[in-house]
Chains A and B, each alone.
Chain A
Amino acid sequence: MASEVTFRVQRFDPKTDREPRFKEYRVRNEPGMTVLDGLLQIKAETDPTLSFRRSCRSGICGSCAVRINGSSRPCCNAQINDNIVGGRLLVEPLANFDIIKDLVVNLDAFWGKIRQVHPWNESGEFRHTGKALMEVTADDLSEIRKTEGCIFCASCHSDCEALRSNRDFVGPAAIVRAYRFMHDPRDRLGNKRLDELKARTGIGVWLCAICGNCGESCPKLIPTNECIASFKNSWFSENKAPDGLKTTAENLEKMGRVYELDEFALRMREKLGLPPLTPNNAPKLEPILKKKGVAK
């Protein structure tokens, strides 16, 4: 049954506005309508000056990502009925970008980060090995497929907590892209990609705050956090982690806990009547941690 819903949409025209403002529109809502359908209705029937990007309308092209009630995703991939809060639906442009007009943002920063990671296979000259020219196993393929679905919608970039506070962070999309090529057996660069990336971005590649937003915003369910962690593991095994993270790991190895139960802490616990705890838990973890190498 048709009903009405209010779209509260952020507007901004750099020619006339000093800062973004909100405009509300009534939208005829029928079951099955997506947020993009709602925006198209507004543009066709109410306000042709509203600007937004869109193309395929079926979650493939990655053009139409916006923030809906504060979370980013392609708006052709979000049902109106699933996103009404207090009778309204809030639509804003992607965050962590400069606005060109209304819901259209300047994606240069996003593509710049993708370019940083050398996003293509460096296959060099083909070498004849006597066997097949190139061999891609099922396991290789499943690694590649984990990340190959990225449609570059930039939702993860927009929801990234670390990027909001430091735009030097390489960002989840670029790391996912790098992961894809690092796991491609046809690529000849291998771990050299890591060195190259570190040289280009310095600390920028370590700035993930592990908030988990990128994984939730990805319309293609790419395990972004897993990719980022895997990168960190590779660097760590080459002793290239920031000192702070090395110390944290060492503490865990030395004490089985990250913060020492020092005399001050033990006295405080006693004073508050808290149960005694074993200060050193290292022997419990030693058999796990002493094993050499990074398991996959």
Chain B
Amino acid sequence: MKRYALFTGCTVPAQMQNYEVSALKVAGKLGIELVYPEGFTCCGFPYEAKDTFKQKTISIRNLAVAEEAGLEVVTLCSTCGSTLSKANHLFRTDRKYRGKLGDALGEIGMEYRGTTRIRHFTRMLYEDVGVERIRSLVVRPFKGVKLAADYGCHYVKPAAVFDGFDDYRRPHTLDDLIEATGASSVDFKDKMACCGAALLAVDEKTSVNMTKYKLDNIRASGAEGMVTQCPFCGIMYDVYQNTIGEYNLPVLYLPQLLGVAFGIDPKELGFKINQVKATNLLKKVGA
């Protein structure tokens, strides 16, 4: 059985438990153990505006926790994944910075050697489980269902801190996993558009305009649902959807989609938390 340290971040455990519970169920089905090491905190991202060095220190501290536990990190949030990877990349490539970060960590009695690997949950599924194995486990195929993939900006950016596992301009890993369920992942205008979540605390109007832009483009594509893998995208597109317009577009987290396709009871996948109800979509596949 493969074991990974699950980095839940802040948004998932407090608000998007549907993402967390479905990820655990899907992992269980695939024989993967996700463990919760004591010691993880916020990834550091929200501190970028205040103090980027302390932000990096927070990230590196989390990576040291995982290193100590001897586990690779799997994140549910695209932004946690990118924030931790950015700090890790700096630590590994910039000697001066590495020294400063090492000192800051030393002051709190910790040490990091730079060995922790960080991947997004989706990427881990794609690379360690594989599309074929996932396809083979589907018992409720989403045949003929059109879904829109939402990656979240930081799944692939900044490209320099990832190892080119996916094309940052036109990524495909999430689309491939959606299609493994039998669904078709539709193309739509400006597919990599940003949800605007980072501006919610600065200027709500701009933030919501950005969300609306993508929802409009998805509606024009004829998609019956959206599949996301980033909790703050989830908040913008699902929780805020009704305040923006009448889209009636269910927003599923990737493991919720996979869970249903694998035959898991939707009640166990936290669908109660989804604001836009996916009832009709689930009926289509007999769930």
Contacts and interface: CB of A to CB of B under 8 A. Distances in A.
Contacts of A294: 50-51, 53
Q: Which of B41, B82, B193 has the most CB of A within 10 A?
A: B41
B245 to A, nearest CB: 15
Contacts of B168: 216
A203 interface: yes
9 contacts: A169-B206, A207-B203, A215-B158, A216-B159, A241-B50, A252-B42, A281-B42, A287-B107, A295-B53
A55 interface: no
Contact of A259 (B10, B53, B158): B10
Given A70-B169, A259-B10, A291-B54, A249 B198 contact: no
Given A226-B52, A249-B49, A277-B36, 9 more contacts: A71-B169, A161-B210, A162-B199, A165-B206, A215-B157, A236-B51, A242-B202, A258-B46, A268-B273
B29 interface: no
Contacts of A259: 10-11, 14-15
A166 B209 contact: yes
A1 B70 CA distance: 51
Interface stretch (B17-25, B117-125, B137-145, B278-286): B17-25
B220 interface: no
A248 interface: yes
A273 B25 CA distance: 11
Interface string B180-205: 00000000001011101111111101
Contacts of B213: 164-165
A274 B17 contact: yes
A272 B16 CA distance: 12
Nearest to B13: A277
A68 B166 CA distance: 18
Contacts, number: 180
Given A216-B158, A288-B61, A272 B210 contact: no
Interface string A257-296: 1111110010011001111011001001101110100111
Contacts of A281: 40-42
Contact of A212 (B50, B107, B157): B157
Contacts of A85: 170
Interface string A184-222: 000000000000000000010011111111011000000
- The 4 A-B residue pairs with the shortest CB-CB distance, nearest first, are A244-B201, A212-B157, A259-B14, A295-B53
B195 to A, nearest CB: 9
Given A212-B157, A252-B42, A259-B15, A232 B196 contact: no
Given A216-B157, A265-B15, A287-B107, A258 B270 contact: no
**Chain B binding site: helix, strand, loop or mixed by DSSP?**
helix
Given A166-B206, A236-B49, A278 B199 contact: no
A261 B11 CA distance: 10
Interface of A: 69-71, 85, 161-162, 164-166, 169, 203, 206-213, 215-216, 225-226, 229-230, 232-233, 236, 241-242, 244-245, 247-249, 251-252, 256-262, 265, 268-269, 272-275, 277-278, 281, 284-285, 287-289, 291, 294-296
Interface in B1-58: 8, 10-11, 13-15, 17, 20-21, 24, 36, 38-42, 46-54, 57-58
Contacts of A273: 21
A257 B231 CA distance: 15
B41 A229 contact: no
Contact of A288 (B14, B54, B192): B54
B270 A252 contact: no
B13 A225 contact: no
Contact of B52 (A206, A208, A230): A230
A231 to B, nearest CB: 10
B57 A288 contact: yes
Given A211-B153, A288-B108, A261 B210 contact: no
A92 B57 CA distance: 42
A277 B157 CA distance: 29
Contacts of B50: 232-233, 236, 241, 245, 249, 294
B210 A162 contact: yes
A4 to B, nearest CB: 22
Contacts of B153: 161, 210-213
Nearest to B206: A166
B287 interface: no
